[in-house]
Structure 1
Amino acid sequence: MTAPGRRSSTFTRLLRHGFTDPSAAERLLAGEELTEVRSDPVLLEALGATADPDLALGGLVRLLEAQPDPGARRGLLDTLIAAKPLRDRLLGVLGASAALGDHLARHPHDWQALVTYEPQDLHPGVTEFERGLAGADDPVSLRVAYRRCLLSIAARDVCGTTDVAETAAELADLATATLRAALALARAAAPDDAALCRLAVVAMGKCGGHELNYVSDVDVIFVGEAVEGADEDKALRAATRLASHLMRICSETTVEGSIWPVDANLRPEGRNGPLVRTLSSHVAYYQRWAKTWEFQALLKARPVAGDPELGAAYLAALQPLVWQAAERENFVADVQKMRRRVVENIPVSEVDRELKLGPGGLRDVEFAVQLLQLVHGRTDASLRSATTLKALQALADGGYVGRADAVQLDEAYRFLRTMEHRIQLYRLRRTHLVPEDEADQRRLGRSLGLRTDPVAGLNREWKRHASVVRRLHEKLFYRPLLDAVAQLASGEARLSAVAARERLVALGYADPASALRHLEALASGVTRKAAIQRTLLPVLLGWFADSADPDAGLLNFRKVSDALGKTPWYLRLLRDEGAAAENLARVLSAGRLAPDLLMRAPEAVALLGDGDGRSGSGLEPRERPPLEQEILATVRRAAGAEQAVTGVRGVRRRELFRTAAGDIVSSYGTETQPAEADQGALVDRVGAAVSDLTAATLAGTLRAVVREGWGDDLPTRFAIIGMGRFGGHELGYGSDADVIFVHEPREGVEEREASEAANRVVAEMRRLLQLPSADPPLLIDADLRPEGKSGPLVRTLKSYAAYYRRWSLVWEAQALLRAEPVAGDEELGRRFVELIDPLRYPADGLGDDAVREIRRLKARMESERMPRGADPKLHTKLGPGGLSDVEWTVQLLQMRHGSTRPGLRTTRTRAALAAAREAGLIEAEHAGTLDEAWVLATRVRNAVMLVRGRAGDTFPSEPRELAAVGRYLGYGPGHVGELLDAYRRTTRRARTVVDELFYGA
């Protein structure tokens, strides 16, 4: 016995050899049968060389104990001591895989499968594995034989006899042999079925690509045909029974566990489609119905079992369709969208540990390689490999991927796949999550050859390789475009001009020749500016390609870069602040309005990089007080009214860009921030921002006019009252400013003098705001004043009171529901509101005659103002269920109940609708329907202005513009039809509510 507190020499040696629990190991070694292990330095050293010496020793003890007699134990130990190949392979497996240790304990003779040493250049294939499975005449014995074969694969893997690609290929060959054996068992169990049909098993996914994992679903597709003279329906039913039996043999759990699940969900129509189809049925489906991802999946199709001629015919019929997939509309967008969907479905708690599906994971490399294959494999047959690493090498050899990039990705992919293999090998469970437990990470790190601080080394190497993969779109898809035009370092493989244009077309660029010219202008040369552009452009090209108009995005980026290229902060901002570059790309490719604003004030690019681009101050609309303060300061500094209004327009231009850019980024989302989910909040934010900006602009223009004409002593008090959407804080990008003007002579000033001054103010404001300019116009519309166009532009408060007392019509009272002071004398504005409140919220509500008049006016407006040839169901303002329907319904409720329900006394449509719901004047479901329709119609109007640069109440007819509107509203490429359907559906429901509440139907 070792004295307490003292460590034995064995304990010390075990600690030195990497055992983490040397006390437990010492107790195991104390057994009589392990005397030679304890005393043999070679065996202890071999145990210490394994991934987990404690696990290896425990597995060895169990294997020795399982031997049937002392002679068998003696033979195993003697062979271990004498034969280094067996020692390394057996202990290597026991130290890496608890599951295979369990298998050896249950089948103690299977260690002899590792005795035969295989030289470096000899690797088994399907034939050898079929021999290894021979004699398995039931599912249980097949599982045992399968694990025995797996044991030899794992031994070659952990000892380095095979690399990760060879191991994956051996696993795929073993799966092929297993499928054949399982089909043979199924045929033997149902000879009558076997006699009726021909059945081919086509491997897909990693099995088809000769790159299988230790534990993975084996994806297959079944093709069946009737034998000559047999009825086709009966033959297909027979083939389906055989296929189902094959799947059960491999998938079901027995006392020996399961082999792996056979997954047939990649078949046409997925799990909803028939399990077995004829060849002609397969071809018909792919020709007519298949989606892009299904052709991508066919890249790895490989007949592996069953009727070889039928399998070959399947491949011959469908392979040509694979290489036409890149010609499909929205091809690249579909592939990229599928990749994003995969990432989005990862649980948040697992995304940072997800080795396969997460950002920088294996699937990123595989998707990028497959995308390039589908684009360029149409004309280059050398790219048509089903194996990722072979395809990557072919892409590098052909100049489609830079050689240095290909080498880095090859290394990263091999490292990540090896991690995946070793994680799965431990328990033989299907997982792609990096373990969190330190002991598991230690074993994993040691299995990868990281012996000095294996946990830290593992995490360091994993993150390094993942960061390389994370840039895969830059490295695999976009950078070669620059190599094709920018004449980078010699010796680097480049795309030909034809291949570069081909790739741009696949990305959605309609004018690849112009795109290449832009790239050349931006990235050619040896200047620092060109070098930074070469770093930025690969990422930007991907973001442009994700938009509805990549050409416009790239062209606009060139224009901005030409304008700001010599500004030191511009490229540095884009390079160093990731949000700024992505936000700029989204804004430049989203339509005309925001880029046009930016072209006239390129320095506003700086707004895109402030904060995080969304919640930070950069793209957050400014509050009205500081905004108005800046505008009034601009007016004070100006030499005259025209110069002052020019300065005010400059502030308006910048702030309009800020609002539009924030709207686009929030609506489209970015890689780091998803699109904003609350569409109503987006609409409210834009409406409030544009309304505040318009009010501040009018306040500044008013101050400029008064300052130039009267100093600070205008002979009358003057106020501007916002009406319509302006008064309701609901202005869109292209809205006019509906206003009325009110004044009141100052004490001692005659009314005539005051009136002349007020009219001069209005005329001069309108003149200044209508001076020719490239900025979006700000039109003042005063047609809602008393007597409309026939009445005076400006009245005294007393005149308004007299008019409303004697002549006011019901429509004028309705129009006043949205009246709110926006600029000028605050006290006068407040008194105007006090004057009109009794009109818009009548104490006795509305009489029947007034309600009928409002309904008549509404019906007349619908029939007279609808543009000729317009589709009423898609007209956002006047169409059924559109803005007018919702607003008039809400306003009728306000006029009827506003005098007794204070919550209804608001100029804002959505707030009034919410108040009506809370007051029980409208059912919650009806209120939700109206709100949804109003928000959607407003979003469409905003989108049309952003996309076209001019206002419109209908959806654009030009396809790219319509696609851009759809993108803003959350409908990706190819889904514009769904947008139109959703709009019709939403407004149809709203119109039903309007018919009930407004028309009393």
Structure 2
Amino acid sequence: MSLPPLAFLPAVLLSLADRSGEVNCAAWPEARREALRRACACSDFVIEQARRDSGLLDELAGSGELERRYVPGELREALRQRVQACVSEDDLGRVLRHFRNRQQLRIIWRDVNRLADLAETCRDLSDLADASIDEAYQWLYPRHCQSFGTPVGRRSGQAQHMVILGMGKLGAHELNLSSDIDLIFGYPEGGETEGAKRAIDNQEFFIRLGQRLIKALDAITADGFVFRTDMRLRPYGSAGALVLSFNALEQYYQDQGRDWERYAMIKARVVGGDQAAGAQLLEMLRPFVYRRYLDFSAIEALRAMKLLIQQEVRRKGMADNIKLGSGGIREIEFIAQAFQLIHGGRDLSLQQRPLLKVLATLEGQGYLPSPVVAELREAYEFLRYTEHALQAIADRQTQMLPDNAQDQARVALIMGFDSWAAFRERLDYWRERVDWHFRQVIADPDEDENGEVEVDPSGEWLPLWNGALEEEGARRQLEEAGFVDALAAQQRLVGLRNGSQVRTMQRLGRERLDAFVPRLLAQIVEQGNPDLVLERVLPLVEAVARRSAYLVLLSENPLALQRLLRLCAASPWIAEQISRFPLLLDELLNEGRLFSPPQAPELIAELRERLTRIPEDDLEQQMEALRHFKLAHGLRVAASEIAGTLPLMKVSDYLTWLAEAILDQVLNLAWRQLALRHGVPRRADGSACDPCFVIVGYGKVGGLELGHGSDLDLVFIHDGDSQAETDGAKPIDGAQFFARLGQRIIHLLTTQTTSGQLYEVDMRLRPSGAAGLLVSSLGAFERYQQQEAWTWEHQALVRARVLVGCPQVGEGVERVRAAVLGRERDLHGLRREVGEMRAKMRDNLGTPTTQAGLGANAFEQDSAFDLKQDAGGIVDIEFMVQYAALAWSWRHPQLLRYTDNMRILDGLCDAGLMPASDVALLQEAYKAYRSVAHRQALQKQPGKVTGEQFQDERRGVMRIWRELGLN
């Protein structure tokens, strides 16, 4: 921000600038004298301090502190040296005030001369407050103990220290030039003091200590004050005890904490006292601030708070207040806090204090578009600079724009404008932009762009939901709205209203439900099949009725509700998923994200980032994060499939990438847990494993053909020394380590949590099946495949693929696969074994009319065609591809390059082993079968169609089967 030259100062400021002549600065360089004139023109505080202590400015100038920024810790160390020399509380008070005035002079000087940016000014002020609070506390505590004894915890027997929480701008390192400081005092546990003639209760000890600390900071003396100290944010406000134990604090916030206290706690930070105990306290209070579910009730509360503020602004005539007025600083803070409180329980990246960092996260995580964040950031910085300009004038806490020409000229000068009018024009622009963005986030969904309340179409459904209509009238309304079976619809609604879930709801939850259901009905009747949609969505409403924040989410986001209804209409599977796991409602908020699932590298990066925010020892939260990630991205894929934005093959690709990303992190988690306990196993050459372990996928995951709800066919292989012990505190041999690693991976994948399980896992394709070891060494895997495996196991190996793990071991697995599949086979015997295995499967799993081939009525409408198991279906195509790979890859090794059926068929065509027309027929039939099977899965229907469907495809597949001699 450029500053106008002082030569063009308005006349009203010239006399103020001339006050610089009262300072002995003749020996100063010209640039510093110019800075002095500007400081004197802008700030009465600067000249008053110079008059009070004639040597102070010279001292700051001589040390170079006026022109340079402090290094971390420098300010605190300077104060510590001064405080340690104090011999009395009066002495402490004087030292703190002199130091504060010295620093305030330096900070204002640097701010008005733009030698410091906003971040530095806020940081220096916050560091000053931190140092003043903690150094005063550390000086007072031992002297307080001499008088009253040392407080000792009743349970722990340990000496107790107070924890001082800084709230608001102090907590976020955002203190302004004349901020007061909001503090909350706590102590870890109850007990009594020891070492004094008369023991007193710990609470009484800390109350007295807190009072002495507040006096040291807040009392106004001849030297001024250090910081105005506000304790009203503590539990019960001014009526509450000055200091509470951790248990009492936790109990209060759990039972009685109000919405505004949640917002205050977002920025809470330990600024003094026992830092370790303070970290424990903040962790205890975290569930109060950040709910584990999506909490759209935060917007309701913010809206109510903003309304109260607006009323206060109007009552006190504060429209020109740049903090509380329309488009002010508080609105930007509310925007950030709305997203933090709604999503912060699940998105840990939002659990931070500084507003600008929160805005950057909102941009990076896609909650707000980049242009919006850029405007909010620039507006915030302009408003905060303006706030500092207002407060620099007289070191007075104010956010009101001045109404006199002199101070208006000062503000314009500090802000780099040549006139008040130019400054005011820019300020009004930014306030208008902030107000507009604020209304987009906080506005009532029933308001139009001008803030007027629109006619709510849900109003006509309120009497029906409340039971105010007679049964006949209710049925008539439902029929007229398009319900085919109005009686069934009415009974469903009555069942919900009279159900135990609703009857036992608390008042607030019931009010939210009563507001939501009419909105829901108004949108359901806009759907093509309202009967079906109502049937599918009411279980969700019942499931979330007692967690009414989800109802608020849908009420606040009409477009999300529309997407929900469309998806439920299209797929009962999606409806059931969302009913079982309501946290998925979050995915409906962003249409672009919902219908555009990320590519494989983005999936891996997103999951890794989520898990890095969770403490390494918090296994429960890690497992929940994995499950939520899978559910969320599974929903995105299903929604994209229904919307037609993802073709079948891409659906399978995405679901497979999702599984690989999850397996990669599951392996990392399992490895880390075991390595911490037992150390790292060794390879045969003595080097450490890193991790010399792979997860091999067979079947659908190996062939990149996963569907919704598919299980995972896995095999675990390691290349460590089974006999060598691990290098940890509790060593075990390599065989035990890798067996436990496999068990841990399966546990992480299959354990049922509140968010379900990750995947069903099938390990029967490992060497020797269920009778074999859970984890095989690479050598044992090779021996088994070369010497003992059956033909059907080699068929399965065609679709085997290393999913995650050590690249070196993965290369070894690929070498074994290529060697086993690439050997020459007796074609007659191979055809017989493949054909016999397929016949067994068809007999056991196929439709009875086609078990021995195609019955006479197999193509009739009354017959059923199992897309997977019946003759001419999916498995026939898979078996032909596997047969071809086993039969001919010894001459055409390129057939082993891929594990998916489509590209192996391409290879057969390229090698001239199968006519292009037959390859095209098999590929098209395969895609058609799988596409229908996917749709059937989303409709929760078995993978069967009527017999008259796919006649040409089935006959073509069976013809090729016969021509290959597989009968």
Task: Give the alignment's TM-score, normalised by structure 1.
Answer: 0.43
Query: Which of 1 and 2 has greater Rg?
Result: 1
TM-score relative to the length of structure 2: 0.44
